Structure 1
Amino acid sequence: MSSPVPPPSAALPFPGDGRVAVVTGASSGIGAATAERLAADGFSVVLAARRIDRLTALAERTGGRAVQLDVTDAASVEALAAGLDRVDVLVNNAGGAFDVNPVAEADLDSWARTYDVNVLGTVRVTKALLPALKASGAGDLVFVGSTAGLVSYEGGASYTAAKHGVHTLAETLRLELVYDPVRVIEIAPGMVRTEEFTRNRTGSQEKADAVYAGVRQPLVAEDVADVIGWAVTRPHHVNVDLLVVRPRAQAAHHKVAREQ
């Protein structure tokens, strides 16, 4: 059994002073917005993603550090971990959806890619950085999940199956780490309009735009980043197990108010 949780006096100052936060999938969308929010809160931010050109520009704006990372590549994840002396916060944001096929027409390559990025990639990074999170004395392990990890819907099985996996991973780790000084936080956004997510999933900008047609004020990446920033700056004895955040226009996954 792991050592007991250190007393509150052993925790680091909040919100972000002196703390190092690693954000995966930081080159765009929620990841980029989260990196900017945490930097504004005083964290030293490590921005990790595949597109180093985007990361470099964001790092220059935020004073962060850009690291090229492919969460589906074990060597890439190991190199990230080896280059970090300290980790206080890990935001597992890297993920994505790549098709809208019904199960009867499943593209198994797309299923494998979706699972590898969302689930196995998250496990790889978490496993590699968990020792540092424990050593910090007040670690935060954040999973950017989705309402798709809590409900199912037609045409979304590859993504919903993967995000259900992320939800289960967070729940399991919370049980396994209860004696360690690491919080496990899951943020589950509903409808969020970002520059790439729905376009990658549907295959065209026109189809992506149709998803949000008539919806007054869907969430944007900064809304989710605001929630993540709030969760990791609570006193460390406070654990936000699961926070579902949707636009007001979305009462449930299948119930969305659209203006005519």
Structure 2
Amino acid sequence: MDHDRRSFGELVAEGAAVPTDGWDFSWFEGRATEERPPWRYAESAARRLGGAHAALDIQTGGGEVLDFALGAAPRRPRLLAATEGWPPNVARATARLAPRGVVVVAAPEDAPLPFAAGTFDLVVSRHPVSPHWAEIARVLRPGGTYFAQHVGPGSCGELVEHFLGPRPEHRRDARRPDLERAAAEAAGLEVTDLRAQRLRMEFHDVAAVVHFLRKVIWMVPDFTAEAYADRLRAVHERIRADGSFVTHSTRHLFDARKPPARA
């Protein structure tokens, strides 16, 4: 489809109508692109799952990433659980993951994890809203591992600032890897690997911008197409002139371990 020939109103209406549940981003194919980090999180998580006995996926979304990782894992853990806080995604993840033997538990993002201490030897997460380090450390067994890909500071900063204006420095730094490392260590974890990347993103039509901001709601928290019509039109005109709207995501890979129990 040649999105460039469609009117501003048609594209905005389309982006506003696409369902936002789950973390399947296949709708963006041909409309937006994002570089991927070199560590290939899902494939790496699959290898970790293959060596685990009891594993937990925190904030699983619709279960898409865990589903892929389990499909690629050489073997599955004997105990598999996942948490999710948004009710539509709980239902979606349950339907997707139950056939793989995963117990999906509804749990708010900022609440204590509903599991006994020392239950898991592996905890994974892709893009947690805010890691609950004390709880992650509590549910890990001694010697267990937390392996995750986090969203970094100032992610999509050019896009966010187009809609909201310059962001305060503390907002841009809230997800800084060094601050997250310090928080993980304060909870008793040993960070064994921490790598960061800045990655190019391009939006090729304004419908993709509308859908993205409706789906990733913390970027522009009060976003609606009606409220930001003028800013969206400016995006539309920039894409018409330049071919795309360019922004950058930030990601970091976290690998941390709970120290083994002392003899």
Query: TM-score, normalised to structure 2's length?
Result: 0.47
More strand by share: 2
For normalisation by structure 1, the TM-score amounts to 0.48
- Name the structure, 1 or 2, with higher relative contact order (CA <8 Å, separation 6+): 2
Instruction: Name whichever structure is richer in helix by fraction.
Output: 1
